[in-house]
Amino acid sequence: MSQATAVTRKTAGERDDAALLPPVDVVEDASGITLFADLPGVSKDGLNLQVEAGTLTIEGEVSLQVPEGMEAAHAEVGLPRYRRVFTLSKELDAEKVEARFEHGVLKLRIPKAEHAQPRRIVVQGA
């Protein structure tokens, strides 16, 4: 995956809402999609996932700690959080999202809704 990109968006209050845009890979198969997002420096407690009105929001607070008595000579992570928003297809079942977070990588599994999954049709007759 590639490096995160910084984005700045204005919110309703017209203030800058700067965040890193984490790199994401999306893999689709017959039963749904799997999304992988790189979120280095984010703890499980600092991760916020939300699905509302067909929109998936991924947010993570970066908590890179410098040991006491030391200071960073170089830092490339200049913003304190990640944020990425996706519009979910109506073919996906947002009620059945499964999430796993290990070693800074978020894995989301979103299955297709039952009506959107392929099904085999049995042919009757001789």
Specify the number of domains making up the chain.
Answer: 1
pTM score: 0.74
pLDDT at 73 (0 to 100): 80
* Residue 122 resides in a domain: no
* Residue 14 resides in a domain: yes
* Residue 126 resides in a domain: no
pLDDT at 71 (0 to 100): 82
* Residue 124 resides in a domain: no
DSSP string, 42-92: EEEEEEEEEEETTEEEEEEEE--PPPTT---S--S--SSEEEEEEEPPTTB
Domain that holds residue 29: 5-68+77-116
CATH code, 50: 2.60.40.790
pLDDT in tens, 64-90: 777 888 887 877 666 789 999 999 999
pLDDT at 107 (0 to 100): 97
* Residue 104 resides in a domain: yes
Q: Which residues of the chain have pLDDT under 70?
A: 1-16, 76-78, 117
* Residue 33 resides in a domain: yes
pLDDT at 77 (0 to 100): 64
